[in-house]
Amino acid sequence: MFFLASLKMIPGERPGDTRPYFLHLTACGKAAWKDFTRDHAAEVNHEDFPDFLRGPWAKLRGYGARLALVIHCLREAAGSAAGNAVDGDSIKAGARLVGYFKSHARRMLAAIDADPVVPGARRLLHWASREGVSDFKAHDAYQAVKSQSLFPRLDSLERPLERLVQHGYLRPKLAEARPGPGRPPAPRWEVHPDLSEHLIPLPQNPRNPQNSDDEPHFGDSGDSGDRGLNQEQGEGWSPF
């Protein structure tokens, strides 16, 4: 690490001024940076991207560049970097680190209920599991789980239901058409037949009073990946 410890500031534009040494990107470094920033922007701009992640994600773009610079300097000190410009390998390594930190940020923020939709979705899922509910109408669920903090009105169920459908815990159930005039039947939701095995468990917050002893505790998967309500459709469950 002697090389890094020996780095000095270089003379600036005015006499007596100093500045850091500027590093530039190679052609492959520029291409890798373009790929990283494009994918990062597409993730943030996706219609399903949660608002509570926008703050951390806004900083992670810049962190990707800083991490790539640190990796490049370490590689140059070890003699594994070709030249003194930041190449694609360093940019890609920085991007992989950003992905790693994203997965941990999602898990941590879910565990502390930073996403305002998660507590309501977890409450619905606990109710369905505890009562052995296979399908239900929104009104039935509201009568069972209504509370001033989570579900003060029937329409408070909309976003938690959408989140559970999006990630495979529920799916809309097609209603049979009624003959003759009258209002169409109320929509129903079908519950995944095996919440505890085919789906990744919901993250739990041990300080959350909603996780009472009479509710099933699905636990934490122990994996550092993007789990819980961010999981895709469970196996054995065919979405419509």
Q: Please provide the size of the chain in residues.
A: 240
Q: Which of 117, 126, 111, 129 is nearest to 204 (CA)?
A: 111
The stretch 3-32 carries a mean pLDDT of 88
Could you tell me whether strands 18-19 and 10-11 are parallel, antiparallel, or unpaired per DSSP bridges? antiparallel
The stretch 233-237 carries a mean pLDDT of 39
Residue 90 has pLDDT above 70, yes or no: yes
Residue 138 has pLDDT above 60, yes or no: yes
Question: Which domains are assigned to the chain?
Answer: 2-111 (no CATH), 118-230 (1.10.10)
HSE at residue 214, side-chain half, CA atoms within 13 A, is 3
Is the distance from CB of 124 to CB of 141 less than 8 angstroms?
A: yes
Q: What is the pTM for the complete model shown? A: 0.52
Residue 236 has pLDDT above 80, yes or no: no
Task: Give the pLDDT confidence of 18-49 residue by residue, as tens digits.
Answer: 998 889 999 999 999 999 999 999 999 988 78
Residue 188 has pLDDT above 60, yes or no: yes
CA angle (54, 228, 93) in 5-degree steps: 55
99 burial level (CB within 10 Å; 0-12, 13-18, 19+): middle
